[in-house]
Amino acid sequence: MPFVSIRILEGHSQKRKNEISRRVTEAISEVAELPMEAIWVVIEDVPGSDWFVAGTPVREPKGQ
C-alpha cells in the first residue's frame, strides 16, 4: 500500500489540498496499477517559521 506524505506551507485551502490528494492518488493508481483505495495521502501544514530556505525561515514568526 503506497503511503504519500506531502508537506506544504500552511495557508492552503482545504479545496486545494483535496485536489492535490486526488491528483497524486490518481497518478500513483495509474502508474502502479493499484486501486485508488490502496493509496494513502497525508498532507501536513508547516508554519513558515518552521520552513527554512538557505538557513532563513520563509516567514518570520509574528512578534519577532
The answer to whether position 63 is within a domain reads no
Contact assessment for residue 57 and residue 50, using Cβ atoms and an 8 Å cutoff: yes
Nearest-angstrom CA–CA distance, 13 and 52: 22
Question: Domain limits at 37?
Answer: 3-51
Contact assessment for residue 48 and residue 7, using Cβ atoms and an 8 Å cutoff: no
The answer to whether position 64 is within a domain reads no
CATH code of the domain in which 17 resides: 3.30.429.10
61 is catalytic: no
The answer to whether position 56 is within a domain reads no
Nearest-angstrom CA–CA distance, 9 and 2: 23
Which residue of the set 2, 35, 47, 61 is catalytic? 2
- How would you write the pLDDT of the chain (64 residues) with one tens digit per residue? 999 999 999 999 999 999 999 999 999 999 999 999 999 999 999 999 999 999 999 886 665 5
**pLDDT number for residue 64:** 52
The answer to whether position 41 is within a domain reads yes
The answer to whether position 11 is within a domain reads yes
The answer to whether position 60 is within a domain reads no
Number of domains in the chain: 1
